[in-house]
Amino acid sequence: MDTERRRGGHGRAVRLSALIGCGAVVLAGCGAMPVTGDVKPVDASQPGDSQVQVYAVPPREGAAPIEVVDGFLESMTSDDPDFRTTRKYLTAEAARTWQPSEGTTVLAKAPNRNGPTIHDKERGSAETTYMLTGEQVAAVDAQSSYRPLAPSEYSQLLHLVREKGADGKPEWRIDIVPDGLVLGQSDFKRLYRPVNKYYFAAGRAGDAAALVADPVYVRNRTDPVTRMDTATQTVRTLLEGPSDWLRPVVDSRFPAGTALKRGVTSLATDDQNVLKVPLNKKADQVGQDACRMMAAQVLFTLRDLTSARVGQVELQGARGPLCSLGADEAEEFASDNGSAGPDSQYFVDDKGHVQRLSGSSKGSWEPEPVIGPLGGGAVAMSAVGVARDETQAAAVSANQQQLYVSSLTEESELAPPVVTSRAKKASDRLSTPSWDGRGDLWVADRDPADPRLLRLVGGAGEPQEVSVPGLDGGRIEGLRMSADGVRIALQVFKDGHTTLSIGRVERHGSGEAEQVSVEDLRQAAPQLADVTAVSWSGRSRLVVVGKEEGGVQQVRYVQADGSTSSSGVLPGVNQVTAVAAADDEQLPLMADTESDGIVKLSPGDNWQTVLKEGSSLVYPG
């Protein structure tokens, strides 16, 4: 366990043992071992061992300060109800005021503790101080939102004093302690799991209403503080509203103050796969349309939980049922409102013409030119982006100077370019274009003299420059829009490196007067020093091609909040220059390579060559 490596040779390492089986129990610290059943040591920090429960033990009588510190740190990694045992390591006042739910500090490894200081030794045996240190790699706030950080030094103080115990004898206890939890990465991944809660994109109503994923982390099994199971925790976070980062661009259909009925700690489907969600009286006055949208938020939020196979949601108010919605009915609110053939891919062949691969999920890989001038015109193209409804496409000329938009449903002449870059070098001109779920077209002009992020409403009209205040001198090298239209993935070049950031797309006003900006950029893959390519894969995940400082190129999945999993790294493939993933995560992952042409990776399979010639393969979007 990480905690076993925490000690650095100081003090006694607290070992964990597990009783393996259904509802397994782990005894932490110096508690008695069970005398029946099969017992074996485990590393409780190993990821994926979700059936292992870790229970804390209280400090022993007469425990030395170092034992109190070690026991406290160990107990934070446990499933201790309300952290009652954990609080026994604190003074009465500190136990009363300590707030473990105020967030989580995630370190690369479990915290080291150093102490006591020379000054403490000079003060005698009345008080002492230890420092918790480590390398912080992420933070989880009180809203359960995860934020990756560039590795930085972590240092916090634990102050201990002697306090009279129940028997009147003085015992060492911690009286100064930071709120929240401090966990090593492996303990964090063992105790918490990522889930997406869903809200509606702001400014879109009726048939255009689209759900947006808001990733958070909830406790595996039962939350120590609320005593809620995973599904109930997830619904609770949904009702509390969107995270601060996403709040400016989404809305919840749940009225303010809506919460689960008091005392609800478990939500489970019945034998008909119907989940009944009891709400407080704040939800009683909603109309049927709003209620159905509320139910859609719950359905989408719970759909990825393997423990909650929900076929229908029934929302219940203080006076009885409010409405119900089936899983199939909820699909009308999906953000990926594409065409009837979402498995199509498009690419540019060796002659600069745009071609389409249709029916790839059925194993057919015969390309055909697209309808219109992009499929056989006189202007050679180098990159393409296709609208999500597959009615039009945008293509960048071979010299990367002009951006053209053309219909994919009817023959026509190639219209004049909608954007022209003035940069002298081809590599400083236009990026591959991308379409959002609203039907708007986005492209970056990489001209060093005038770098711009541009948006064309509906793919037509005068390009609008989009401000990106968080670039801080960086330049956008590439971009991909999310299907919901409220998030954008940016490859940003600065100080000799290209990194990945996620921005929030804010819209103010309407029509021609609408102002759009990309706000609050966040690093999405701080562990990668250079990012070659990126694509959205589903509603809240990206596939990224890049390498760590001094490392080799890798292809991996990254959540929209920047978190990763041990299973995120994909099989290796050589010299990837571009990557394409679909909103449907069951469709193959595609990549452009310098040596093998266009390759695909189907779920559970290895990379296979699809086309030896061609480049810039994309799914609609």
Using the predicted structure, report yes or no on whether residue 463 has a pLDDT greater than 60.
Answer: yes
Confidence at residue 34, expressed as pLDDT on a 0 to 100 scale: 40
Separation of alpha carbons 204 and 334, rounded Å: 13
Nearest to 411 by CA among 385, 376, 378, 380: 376
- Lowest mean pLDDT of 88-102, 407-421, 553-567, name the range: 553-567
Look at residue 25 in the predicted model and tell me its pLDDT.
32
Mean pLDDT of 66-91: 95
All residues at 6 or more sequence positions from 395 whose CB lies less than 8 Å from its CB, including other chains: 348, 354, 374, 381, 383, 384, 385, 403, 404, 406, 433
Poorest-pLDDT segment among 35-39, 327-331, 395-399, 613-617: 35-39
* More confident: 580 or 566: 580
| Contact assessment for residue 441 and residue 459, using Cβ atoms and an 8 Å cutoff | yes
Could you tell me if 431 and 451 are in contact, meaning their C-beta atoms sit under 8 angstroms apart? no
Q: Report yes or no: 354 and 381 within 8 Å, Cβ to Cβ.
A: yes
Query: 166: helix, coil or strand?
Result: coil
32-41, 124-133, 405-414: least confidently modelled range:
32-41
Average pLDDT value for residue range 241-260? 96
- The pLDDT-based confidence of 335 (bands split at 50, 70, 90) is low
Per residue, the 3-state secondary structure of 484-523, as one string, reads: CCCEEEEEEEECCEEEEEEEEEEEECCHHHCEEEEEEEEE
- What separation in angstroms does the CA of 167 have from each of 15, 66, 88, 89? 28, 22, 14, 16
pLDDT digits (tens, 9 = 90+) for 157-173: 999 999 988 788 899 99
Q: Give how far the C-alpha of residue 213 lies from the chain's centroid of Cα atoms, to the nearest Å.
A: 9
Intervals of CATH 3.10.450 along the chain: 2-191
Fold of 2-191: Nuclear Transport Factor 2; Chain: A, (3.10.450)
- pLDDT bin (cut points 50, 70, 90) of residue 42 is very low
SS (H, E, C) 434-462: EECCCCCEEEEECCCCCCEEEEEHHHCCC
| Predicted confidence (pLDDT) at residue 122 exceeds the cutoff of 80 | no
- The residue-averaged pLDDT of 205-211 equals 70
Contact 431, 446 (CB under 8 A): yes
- Distances from the Cα of 358 to the Cαs of 345, 346, 373, 434, 578, in angstroms? 7, 9, 19, 20, 20
**What is the mean predicted confidence (pLDDT) over 575-582?**
93
Averaged pLDDT score across all residues of the chain:
87
Model pLDDT, residue 23: 37
What is the per-residue pLDDT for 120?
Answer: 56
* Res. 450 pLDDT band, cuts 50 70 90: very high
**What's the pLDDT at 168?**
83
Q: Which DSSP symbol is given to 232?
A: H
- Backbone φ and ψ for 415, nearest 5 degrees, come out as -75, 160
> How many angstroms separate the CA atoms of 264 and 392, rounded?
50
pLDDT-derived band at 302, boundaries 50, 70, 90: very high
At residue 303, the pLDDT reads 86
CATH class for the domain made up of 345-618: mainly beta
24 has a pLDDT exceeding 70: no
Q: What is the pLDDT of residue 32?
A: 37
Does the pLDDT at position 147 exceed 50? yes
CA R_g for the chain: 27
Burial profile 278-294: b = 16 or more Cβ within 10 angstroms, e = fewer: bbbebbeebeeebbbbb
Question: Hey, what amino acid is at 241?
Answer: G
Please give the structure tokens belonging to residue 439: 């039907």
Most distant CA atoms of the chain, gap in Å: 93
pLDDT at 474: 94
> Which position has the higher pLDDT, 260 or 514?
260
Angle (nearest 5°) at CA 538 between 545 and 614: 50
Quote the pLDDT of residue 55. 78
Mean pLDDT across 452-460: 95
Percent of the chain with pLDDT over 90: 69
Give the pLDDT of residue 207: 55
Res 123: pLDDT: 54
Highest mean pLDDT among 119-133, 408-422, 504-518, 540-554: 408-422
Arithmetic mean of pLDDT, 436-462: 95
Q: What percent of the chain has pLDDT over 70?
A: 86
